[in-house]
Chains A and B, each alone.
Chain A
Amino acid sequence: MLAKREDMILDELVSIVGKDNATAAKHIRYAYSYDLSFVKPKLPDYVVMATTVEQIQSIFRLANRDKIPVVPYTAGSNIGGLCIPEHGGILLDLKRMNKIIRIDTESHYAVIEPGVSHAQLAMELYKHNLRWSWPVGPPSASVSSNALCHGIGGMSGRYGLNSEEITSMEVVLPTGELVRVGSCAIQEDSWHSVLPLPQLDGLFKGWLGTSGVVTKMGVRVHPIPPILKVFTVSTRSIEDMTSYMVNLGNYEICDDLTAVSWWLSQVPIPYPYKPKPDAAPEWYCFGATNSWTQKEKEAREEIWQNVLDEEKKKGTSIEYADYPEEALKARTQLPSRIVGSTKNYTKMAGGGISWPGTFTPANKWAPVYNKWKEILIEHNLSPSVRATNYRGVHYGMLRAMIPFNKQSAEETENARHAIVECLKVDLDAGGIPYKPPVDFAAEINKRAHPGYLSLLKQVKKLLDPNDIMNTGKLGF
């Protein structure tokens, strides 16, 4: 009976998207069953490639009727297992919806489909001397998925998260209903902003693909100033580095202000853990700035020099530091060849990477990092940690990139344990994980205000009454 029923569903899916775009073949499903992370592989029951909004609507109507989970997928390069189906169902691959619908060179926004990759958008924007906040991720990753999951990029120091750069969206709700948020909701071809309307875009940002499929997205893009200047320093402690980054961050002159621990600055990250040489600083920082004129660059240099002098006067361990050329290129030429390709993360580790990636304000970096270091070393893992300022000093990021040997169930489990332990430390300090695997979501929910959880569930129920959309990813 089950086989017959499955065949009928496949037949219906085929009737929606065509025979070449829907399958239940196991080898195809297997290729969607895992990602880079420690999240255990799970197979979808069907894989479907949609090419139109109408097809997505039809798929959701079918899924609602039979209460089949639907997991949205663009590139599958997140490292939180977000596209691994918790309860099987339909894996909805959106890579073929990859049109750049518009680049508005006057109002500086672009309208894109979900399958548009960073590589694709980078090439087209560059023709107009425009840029997006490219993440430290593979060029093949999806621009809209990254933005929807609160991804960060090379301009997050200045403009904040990539989700803050979304201007408008067209969305298919899990019920199949087509909705719009932002200016395009009022005027068909107007995609410039989400304000001053009520911010309904929040219904789809940070929901881990559980509240709808964004079929068109407007994003702010920015001109490319011609002069790049990167300020690089080192310190011997996270406390000294935090002091410097908060100080410099106050001036809001950096597109990106990021520090990495010695272990993360290594290419590759040592796996298993190896001690840092005593003579080496523990933290390196780069602050990327872009200027329109030489004088503007000099003004930024003056500010930076003043900050450096002030920090030295405080008696901190701050020093000017040469950043390794290859690593600096990787940091300033995004999306990144080296970091994005994960070359430096997994060499000899065996194909696994996971992270506790968190929003943690700078004043909590030191206590959290110091504890993380203990936990990770205890698990024989390198404390390869990154700290980044968002929008000056308004908030911050702290994350550890942990490679592990995915061939070994034991080593994978060891990494998972260590990472979840780290996460708990951060949550207890007031940090919040982003792009969280289900393991993290459970920890978030444990600490959540009951009113928040209740509202979250009510909204989810409203949007997705049959709980078919990426079922289980929110940890409830």
Chain B
Amino acid sequence: MEWNIATLEELKDILWRCTACGNCKAAYNYGPPPEFGEICPAGAEFGFEGFMASKGKIAFARGILDGQLEWTDELLDAIYKCTVCAGCQNQCELDHKPFIPEIIEAMRRKAVQDGIGPMPTQKKIAQSMRSYNNPYQGPRRVRTDWTRPFKKAKKPIKDINKEPADILYYVGCTGAFNLPARGVPVATASLFQKLGLDFGILGENEICCGSTAMRIGDAEEFKRVAQSNLETFRMLHEERGVKTIVTSCAGCYRAIKKDYILSSEYDKMMDGIQVVHTVDLLNTLFKEGKLKFTGELPMKVTYHDPCHTGRHLTKFVIDKEGSQLWKGAYVGLNDEDCLYDVPREILRAIPGIELVEMERIRDNSYCCGGGGGVMTGYGDWAAKNASKRIEEGMQTGAEHMVSICPFCHYNLNEGSRRISSEMKLYDLVELLDQVISETDKA
């Protein structure tokens, strides 16, 4: 299986299209009314231009490529402090726009290739991937611990290794191994059972999607697990009848939707299989009248857009043939894959819920601070950043924050704890599970 993962050298022409204008440094809606906000977590925290948005990372990339910058611990540290949230990409209007996260990750890939990256704490991730097929150093058997309540309640979850099912619920390592985030797969499976969906899990045979490895520059490890997963997905389609892969993890969603397509075999392997996020599936059922609310949640909440279900999935129209502009030029974009409206529509539909918005939302959402390997590499700072987002949520008057990513789930709750806030981050499925009862079965 061939992979089209660019090296930093291959991106050289593209990164020279940055003018260093600095448009990337702030989120700005032109209005009226005009709205301004900080957008770059590393830039806001560390301040120096090198840390700041795309402009800073492009400077590093140029310096590395033109031989002005040699690897040092400090340079490595600065490159790995980026959460790769794509906030800067969303502000940029130049032709390197579609490639900004790619350029940052290509620098990391070069660091790994040169034997210096990733950061020491992140090296444990790489080792864990090789030893355990997940970044949490979790033994295979632990991967199904979250299913115990279902077994106890005599509602076992179908093992797709043994039985066919329409839907593969691809749980993801964070939901399975990260204890505070385990509520996500539990609520997801509970909901699916209530809705009578024909779904199964890979259980102990599930392996990591590779997202974390890719984000920290370990392309080889990403390729290994991604290839294995693609082969598994093909097998599940052909032998178990799987037509839909559902993921409740934003990282898995992004990886399968956006990173896996870099494989030469993607179209062949994924033919007949659709990949959706849990909320997308639930929204479809809601629109079809198959998801009905019986309970009520009198709660004022605000919604946090994860980077990986939002702007990371923006599709860019690139005029490679030069028929519209010049070869390689960025022409436009669409956000049809970005889950901005769907979670909000579902939230608003829940009886009793009042949704109030933060200032920075949708494509201008402020990263929770946990992405790009930062949660592992710089745990304290990730939580500090998350506490800023929690404070922003508190300013809306909301009691709680809702999101659809187990990374945000963990990190924002850490951030809340850090500032002794009462605000708790719930995954949307955790709320839905409370207001949908067995009788709503489709």
**Proximity bits, A407-420, B CB within 8 Å = 1, else 0:** 10000000000000
A464 → B minimal CB distance (Å): 25
What is the CB-to-nearest-CB distance from B95 to chain A, in angstroms, rounded to a whole number? 6
Minimum C-beta distance from B347 to chain A (A): 27
Is A28 touching B329 in the complex (CB atoms < 8 A)? no
User: Judging by beta carbons under 8 Å apart, are B94 and A342 in contact?
Assistant: yes
Whole-angstrom distance between the alpha carbons of A30 and B55 in the complex? 12
> What is the CA–CA distance of A341 and B54 in the complex, to the nearest angstrom?
13
**A145 to B: closest C-beta gap in Å:** 12
| A342-B93 contact in complex given A96-B47, A119-B28, A126-B31, C-beta closer than 8 Å | yes
Residues of B49-71 at the interface with A, using a CB-CB cut-off of 8 Å, are 49-50, 52, 55-56, 59-60, 63, 68-69
CB contact between A27 and one of B20, B63, B94 (< 8 Å): that residue? B63
- Which residues of chain A from 160 to 217 have a CB within 8 Å of any chain B CB? none
- Cα A32 to Cα B49 in complex, Å, equals 7
With a CB–CB cut-off of 8 A, which chain A residues contact B13? 350, 407
- Of B18, B33, B48, which one neighbours A351 at CB under 8 angstroms? B18
Q: How far is the CA of A350 from the CA of B63 in the complex (A)?
A: 16
A426 at the interface (CB under 8 A from B): no
Q: Any chain A CB within 8 A of the CB of B46?
A: yes
C-alpha gap A138/B93 in the complex (Å) = 11
* Distance of A332 Cα from B236 Cα, bound (Å): 56
Decide if B50 touches A27 in the complex (CB within 8 Å). yes
Binds A, one of B72-80, B131-139, B281-289, B350-358: B72-80
Q: A25-B74, A95-B47, A338-B93 are in contact. Are A351 and B32 (CB under 8 A)?
A: no
Q: Which B residues touch A96, using CB under 8 A?
A: 47
Contact with A along B320-364 (1 / 0, CB 8 A): 000001111100000000000000000000000000000000000
Bitwise, A94-120 to B at CB < 8 A (1) or not (0) is 011000000000000000000001011
Are the CB atoms of B326 and A347 closer together than 8 Å? yes
Determine if A341 and B94 form an interchain contact, defined as CB atoms under 8 angstroms apart. Answer: yes
Per the CB 8 Å criterion, the residue count for chain B at the interface is 46
Interface size class of A (residues with CB under 8 A): 35 or more
Kindly list chain B residues whose C-beta atoms are within 8 Å of the C-beta of A25.
72, 74-75
B20 near A140 (CB under 8 angstroms)?
no
CB-CB nearest in chain B for A73: B49
Taking a contact as CB atoms closer than 8 A, the residue among A123, A346, A352 that contacts B34 in the complex is A123
A-chain residues with CB within 8 Å of residue B47 when the two chains form the complex: 20-21, 49, 93, 95-96
**Contact across chains for B36 and A139 when beta carbons are under 8 A apart:** yes
Cβ < 8 Å to B, chain A residues 335-383:
335, 337-338, 340-343, 345-348, 350-353
Residue of A nearest to B93 (CB): A341
The residue from B20, B50, B78, B328 contacting A36, defined by CB atoms under 8 A apart: B20
User: How far, in whole Å, are A429 and B68 apart by their CA atoms in the complex?
Assistant: 42
Q: Judging by beta carbons under 8 Å apart, are B22 and A77 in contact?
A: yes
Contacts of B35 in A (CB 8 A): 123
B367 within 8 A of A: no
Chain A residues lying within 8 Å of B24, measured Cβ to Cβ, are 140
Task: Name 14 extra pairs, CB < 8 A, besides A119-B28, A338-B93.
Answer: A26-B69, A27-B74, A30-B63, A31-B59, A77-B21, A119-B26, A119-B34, A119-B36, A343-B93, A346-B94, A347-B17, A348-B325, A351-B20, A406-B16
25 A-B pairs (CB sep. < 8 Å): A21-B47, A31-B50, A77-B21, A93-B48, A95-B47, A119-B26, A119-B28, A120-B36, A122-B28, A122-B34, A123-B33, A126-B34, A139-B36, A140-B23, A337-B30, A338-B93, A340-B23, A346-B17, A347-B94, A347-B95, A348-B325, A350-B13, A351-B16, A351-B19, A352-B19
